[in-house]
Structure 1
């Protein structure tokens, strides 16, 4: 489990890094809209293990905004990082100051222009020998060094190689993740079907005479229900479970008690003691098991919408059915239908 957790965290970082690299590549080629798209994709991925990586994303995003003459957006992006107490990277801070200086100059904000020029001088002692004019011309030079060494054609070829590599990486990770998820869902499906079949065999061959013995053993430490009433309720529950009366959406403990000619308290306590669940969970499990059997035994059910299956099983809404179905089986109705259809195709 620990290894899978580490792998999952690594995959998250790889996805985020892939989007970031795409954004950087497009930024260098001056395709700023594409760069902005991929950088925002990278920001949207939550990675609690590599929090500092977002600083580099915001810095590149600020460059993109600056190139698009959206200087206020560039400033806002940089301030997100600079306002964080955890941000300690002075080298990256200096680069951000340069971008702020360029943006404030473009906005003709002399006060902020001077403020960040002074901050940059304080941060980099070697800058003290340069005047403010020299600072302005230094903005973005570091980011342009790579492009200055290659032609536009080589840059496009490099982008294609990077893009293909990243797409293959993302596609490979996605395929592995989907395959692992589907294997897990198939195993859960198979285990549920196996348990369902075992339950049917048990109900078919288990002697009914033991009901009285179970009552006598449990009666000693339970709510005081007359043994005759408890036996009667259990016998009626057996018949009830083989019917489809539990698919009535309006069924309640009170209405079932009337049907059994007993009181709701006796019925509720008997279900709790012998079925080891409350009334609602008992009925919901009967409904889910019933609809699963219908799907397995009647191929036409594979083509029905989930809303119809919910109504047929006795649930008042699609969402309630989906939630309870997953709590009982461990998988969603759509996954169950998919696995049942695959099994039918094999047969």
Structure 2
């Protein structure tokens, strides 16, 4: 009897032992993928994919999917990163694991913000605040508090409130130090260095960056972002040789992990240095490389944005179906039709309003430009300036009229010092006259002249509608594709790509 009893006991316990061993192996693989997600992202992605295919536990699958998303993000593949991040969030939301819910939500918010999808990110942030009320573990609560402070600091930094951003980042850093989360604490230090750089405190920024690099080296973590930021600081200090050296180090890492976004930042940084050193050959070679990388990045970003909207639509449909299945068949049919019509109406209305706004923003540029009425300055009664002598002010206004009629403002070397030299005056006088009579600072004045110039080219010369954005940027005097796009959108209300698209359509229908 005893033999039979022991046999039955072993038969019952053996599957439990195998199950425990299997999960221990999966946990070890998860730890390995986690340790390699930044230093060896491709290897981490392979391990995560293996776990996803092997394990059916939703908590483990959510963790592995989030690791896969992170590995794609480190490699600069935003489309696959956002697809897996949203999938991880979806799996985590269906589980009872609060920690993975929080982490997947936070990572999704980070990605959405980098893709410019602020509205979707805000919705997810509201979900996160709801989850916050369910956190009972003190360590997890402190970690989440630190992450939310980081998020608010990011918002303050964007809006220019750097003092509040700095305060929140120091608080977040203390949270992470308290719970011994070295990686999160290092991330906060890196963000602090960015804030210090923005406010011109380069020494403080360098101190924080060097601490960050030391910690990252000890953790076998990629130093790409920290190096790229340090190179920017050296550039600001006009230490071009050191800046080039550090940019090249960052570029090597970005090549190793095939991250086109950071590769592009490094290429543009190197180009800036060679421009400052008046090395035209290297500058133009790097600008050409940056243009190719920019196109690659735009394609990936567009795909990522589309993937987000596809995911949202799919989730809305799934949730609707889940609710409808609980009702009777006739309610299901009626409600399904109603939701479909409502969704269609919202989408149509959204696109209609979007198109209306775009056309409204562009319509004033489509019609021929009215000739500018040149005032006879000698008849204008000028309000006396406390800085500029009256006669000098009149002369400078005449010179500005002549300057606007030409195209010297498209020179990429344009600066207030250059213009002052051209007008045989000083920068203080030029700045005062532009501020008083043009209602803007020097940079805004030059940028608007450049945008008006390129819009006139697009309007009068159809060939320009076929040029790449990078060419239009260079033609109008901007040093980079991104700065041109930013200024163009701030002046016209739409991006250059959308402007040209609408302009072409208006030409075809005219």
TM-score by length of 2: 0.36
Aligned counterpart, 2:505: 342
Change (3 A) 1:241 1:160: same
Specify the structure having the higher radius of gyration (Cα). Answer: 1
Cα distance, 1:147 vs structure 2: 8.0
TM-score by length of 1: 0.51
Aligned counterpart, 2:383: 218
Q: Say whether residues 1:270 and 2:433 are aligned partners.
A: yes
Q: Pairwise mapping of residues 197-208 of structure 1 onto structure 2 (< 5 A)?
A: 197=369, 200-201=370-371, 203=372, 205-206=373-374, 208=375
* Aligned partner of 1:294 among 440, 454, 457: 457
Cα distance, 1:170 vs structure 2: 3.0
Q: Pairwise mapping of residues 93-108 of structure 1 onto structure 2 (< 5 A)?
A: none
Q: Say whether residues 1:183 and 2:331 are aligned partners.
A: no
Cα distance, 1:212 vs structure 2: 2.5
Q: Say whether residues 1:326 and 2:489 are aligned partners.
A: yes
Q: Pairwise mapping of residues 111-150 of structure 1 onto structure 2 (< 5 A)?
A: none
- Residue pair 2:451, 2:476 contacting (<8 A) in 1 also: yes
Q: Distance in 2 between matches of 1:165 and 1:279?
A: 55
Q: Pairwise mapping of residues 1-347 of structure 1 onto structure 2 (< 5 A)?
A: 73=97, 84=133, 166=339, 169-193=342-366, 197=369, 200-201=370-371, 203=372, 205-206=373-374, 208-209=375-376, 211-214=377-380, 216-219=381-384, 222-347=385-510
Q: Distance in 1 between matches of 2:327 and 2:416?
A: 79
Gaps of 5+ in 1: 1-32, 38-59, 66-71, 87-143
Change (3 A) 1:164 1:257: same
Gaps of 5+ in 2: 1-57, 63-89, 102-127, 136-321
- Residue pair 2:454, 2:472 contacting (<8 A) in 1 also: yes
Q: Distance in 2 between matches of 1:247 and 1:309?
A: 11
Cα distance, 1:186 vs structure 2: 0.6
Cα distance, 1:176 vs structure 2: 1.7
Cα distance, 1:166 vs structure 2: 5.0
- Residue pair 1:61, 1:74 contacting (<8 A) in 2 also: no
Q: Distance in 2 between matches of 1:231 and 1:63?
A: 68
Q: Distance in 2 between matches of 1:319 and 1:231?
A: 37
- Residue pair 2:473, 2:481 contacting (<8 A) in 1 also: yes
Q: Distance in 2 between matches of 1:274 and 1:342?
A: 37
Q: Distance in 2 between matches of 1:247 and 1:232?
A: 23
Cα distance, 1:241 vs structure 2: 0.7
Q: Distance in 1 between matches of 2:495 and 2:430?
A: 31
Cα distance, 1:238 vs structure 2: 1.2
- Residue pair 1:223, 1:269 contacting (<8 A) in 2 also: no
3-state SS in 1 of match to 2:383: helix
Cα distance, 1:332 vs structure 2: 1.8
Q: Distance in 2 between matches of 1:149 and 1:224?
A: 77
Cα distance, 1:162 vs structure 2: 7.6
Cα distance, 1:285 vs structure 2: 0.7
Change (3 A) 1:253 1:147: closer
Q: Distance in 2 between matches of 1:259 and 1:165?
A: 67
Change (3 A) 1:226 1:187: same
Q: Distance in 1 between matches of 2:98 and 2:434?
A: 65
- Residue pair 1:325, 1:332 contacting (<8 A) in 2 also: yes
- Residue pair 1:62, 1:75 contacting (<8 A) in 2 also: no
Cα distance, 1:231 vs structure 2: 2.2
Higher RCO (C-alpha under 8 Å, 6+ residues apart): 1
Q: Distance in 2 between matches of 1:74 and 1:158?
A: 34
